[in-house]
Structures are given as structure tokens and as C-alpha cells.
Amino acid sequence: MKFRVDRDVLAEAVTWAAKGLPARPPVPVLAGVLIDADPSGTITLSAFDYEVSARVTVAADVSDGGQVLVLGRLLADISRNLPNRPIDVVTEGNKVQLTCGSSRFSLLQMPSDEYPTLPTSPEPSGTIPGDVFTQAVAQVSIAADRSDTLPILTGVRMEVEGDKITLLATDRYRLAMREVTWNPANTDISTVVLVPARTLSDTAKSLGAAASVDLALGYAAGGDGLVGFEAGQRRTTTRLLDGEYPKVSSIFPSSVDTTAVVETGSLVEAVKRVSLVAERNTPVRLRFIDGQVGIDAGAGDDAQASEAVEATLTGPEIEIAFNPHYLLDGLHAVGTSYTRLSFTQSSRPAVLSGQAEADGEPDSSYRYVLMPVRFPG
């Protein structure tokens, strides 16, 4: 195998392919990146850990085609640090030689015949704008569980009905739901898939810069329990989570007694400042009265802080307490200049949604439900 490739092209491709490689692979070959050189003028880099696969194809000047397996993270580190000149890659015996200007590296080939066969990505089920995909996944994945206590809650539930996708995640303390429209290949599509949140988040960040992303939705696409994503020459698959996602729609309050509209940035900064004195796992308290919301934390002999922010209140006054980190996650996720907070009572979940103008209509396409924390008195 012999090819020449631009330094930046190789560095970006191998870094993307290798980003999901396991730190402690169950078998040594899973630490590798498989390079396929095609005489037609491309190289394809692939990585796979039995759960997630990544494949990217880039242009190269290929003299001799072939296949080689090398340590992925090492190749990524080397390629990023080489001088900005073309890289020549050639196999010699059981070594892979990299030459870039006066820099020379020799890497040991790994046994490519022991490398597992990458899964075939399902046929695309439709496309979604890259920026919409990135934002929706970011808004929802923050609420997915990060522990393995209940593995099914580490996923994002994607319910597809025609041209609408509803993404939902919860860790039992908060719930995030976002509705988006997409362009399905078949308008009669109706399916539900459960995608690991961490993988979905990484994929959205790495593919979302593209104008559109192809989605291949597992069972509905004949993909044997896989979901696939593709943008440009980057393709990735991940195995779906198995199990029945809990019926969490009942968490959404059926009625609203009080609503408050607050400038998002002002509330974020105030909560950040006040929560500096909140000890681990202690809440910040919010008291909504006509014209403002008072935020305070700390009690007794501990450090204390308080601040007030303008708010437009409709309905009875209310005092409620939240985990400050969960509250800030929701405020950052709404993505609009104003946030509408809807309440029933201080012991019941509150709902955050976005609003472009202080007196405008709420954007119900994204809702973040936050469980309150009990506080003395």
C-alpha cells in the first residue's frame, strides 16, 4: 500500500474515526483504525468497537491499493503534529512508514485479519437539516441519565411519525422533549428507536455542521437493531438500546396555575452567582412575585446569597426550589432570549420553554420539565 495525502485531510479524518475508540479495548485490535486505500483515489478510515462504528472517506493520491490496521489514537496524535506538508504513507513488511518533510515515523501493523467486519448501515430513512439535528440532540441529551443504574434511561427516545420526530430523555429528576420536522423517504413511517445519548450527542456535534444529515432508523430500515447517520463522506452506526422506555408523558403537568417570563441571560447569570454558596446537592430557592423573581441560596450559619431579576408573572405568587445545575441546564437549552416557566404548585414539576419576545408566544417545540427540591419551611 502506498499513498500521499494532505496533512490536514488525514489529521481530521483519523481524529474523527478514532474519537470513539475504547480506552481499554476488550481485544487489542479494537484500538486500531483500518485504512483502505483505493487506487481510484480515495482512502477510507474505519473504527469499530462492536457497538459504534465510524467510517470516513477522503481524497488521496493512491499509488498502490491495500489495507492496513494501525493504532488509531497514535496515528491521530502523529498526524495532528506533523508539519503542514503532504504525508507519504507506505507499507514495508510489518511496518507502516509515514514521511512528512523531514519527519519520519514507523508504526507496527496490527493483524487486520482479526479485525471484526463493520456493520452495514441501514438504508437512509430520510434527512434532517444539520443545524436542527445538532440543536435538538443537545437540548434533549442533557436530561439523559449518566449512570448505569437503569441503562435504558441513558438513551434518547426517538419517536417518528411521518414528517415529525419527537426526541425525549429523562433521568427521573428532569425530562426534556423536542419536536422537529424532517424529510422522510416514506411519509407513512412510524417507529420508535432508543439511541445511546452519549453516542447520539457526539454524532450530532461531529456531523451537524453539514447542511443535512441522513438518518437510517434501525428496525424500520431493516438495520438489525442499528441506527445510522451520514453526512458528506462521514458515516457512523450505533447499536440501539433494548427495552421498554418508561411512560413518562404523565410527568407533564395537565394544568398551569402560574407562569413567569424572564430574560434568559439575566436569570442564568443570577442563578450562577447565587449558587456559588449552594453546598453540594442543596437547592436554590426562587420566589416569583409580581414584577420579579428573587433567587437565594444558603441558610443558617452557612454562606448566603440572594439576587432579584425582573419577571412578568401571571397567576398566584409561588416559591419553589431547584437543583441549580439542572435549572441552568434547562435555561441554556431553551436557546431563546426569554424563558417561560410554568407552575402548578411548589411541590409539582415546573416546565421551561422558550420565548423569543417578552410578550410573545411560547415555543412549545421544546419543553424541559424540572422536578422541584423540598426545602425547609
Structural domain total, the chain: 3
One domain, residues 267 and 232: no
Contact 338, 357 (CB under 8 A): yes
Q: In angstroms, rounded to a whole number, what is the distance separating the alpha carbons of residues 156 and 268?
A: 26
One domain, residues 131 and 25: no
One domain, residues 227 and 278: no
In the prediction, which pLDDT does 183 show?
Answer: 97
In the prediction, which pLDDT does 224 show?
Answer: 61
Q: In angstroms, rounded to a whole number, what is the distance separating the alpha carbons of residues 325 and 8?
A: 38
One domain, residues 75 and 133: no
Which of 232, 249, 266 terminates a domain? The answer is 249
- Any domain includes 341: yes
Q: What is the CATH number of the domain that holds 67?
A: 3.10.150.10
**CA nearest to 49, candidates 31, 67, 36:** 31
One domain, residues 330 and 239: no
One domain, residues 7 and 101: yes
- Any domain includes 121: no
- Any domain includes 120: no
- Any domain includes 365: yes
**Per-residue pLDDT tens digits for 113-147:** 999 999 887 788 999 999 999 999 999 999 999 98
One domain, residues 236 and 302: no
In the prediction, which pLDDT does 222 show?
Answer: 46
Residue type, position 344, single letter: T
- Any domain includes 377: no
- Give the 3-state secondary structure of the chain: CEEEECHHHHHHHHHHHHCCCCCCCCCHHHHEEEEEEECCCEEEEEEECCCEEEEEEEECEEEECEEEEEEHHHHHHHHHHCCCCCEEEEEECCEEEEEECCEEEEEECECHHHCCCCCCCCCCCEEEEHHHHHHHHHHHHCCCCCCCCCHHHHEEEEEEECCEEEEEEECCCEEEEEEEECEECCCCCEEEEEEEHHHHHHHHHHHCCCCEEEEEEHHHHCCCCEEEEEECCEEEEEECCCCCCCCCHHHCCCCCCEEEEEEHHHHHHHHHHHHHHCCCCCCEEEEEECCEEEEEECCCCCCCEEEEEECEEECCCEEEEECHHHHHHHHHHHCCCEEEEEECCCCCCEEEEEECCCCCCEEEEEEEEECCCCCCC
Measured CA distances, 202 to 54, 151, 342, 376 (Å) = 12, 18, 31, 40
Residue type, position 81, single letter: N
Domain residues for 40?
2-114
- Any domain includes 42: yes
- Any domain includes 361: yes
Distance of CA 295 to the CA centre of its chain: 30
Measured CA distances, 361 to 200, 210, 262, 355 (Å) = 30, 30, 13, 6
One domain, residues 241 and 142: yes
Which of 114, 143, 170 terminates a domain? The answer is 114
**CA nearest to 28, candidates 87, 127, 116, 120:** 116
In the prediction, which pLDDT does 220 show?
Answer: 45
pTM: 0.90
- Any domain includes 376: no
One domain, residues 102 and 135: no
Positions of the chain with pLDDT lower than 50, given as ranges: 220-223, 377
Show Cβ contacts of residue 334 under 8 Å, excluding neighbours closer than 6 positions: 139, 264, 352, 353, 354, 366, 368
Which of 249, 274, 299 terminates a domain? The answer is 249
One domain, residues 209 and 257: no
One domain, residues 60 and 99: yes
One domain, residues 277 and 314: yes
The dihedral through the CA atoms of 339, 344, 346, 350 has a sign that is negative
**Nine cell digits for residue 47:** 473504527
* Partner residues linked to 177 by β-bridges: 168, 367
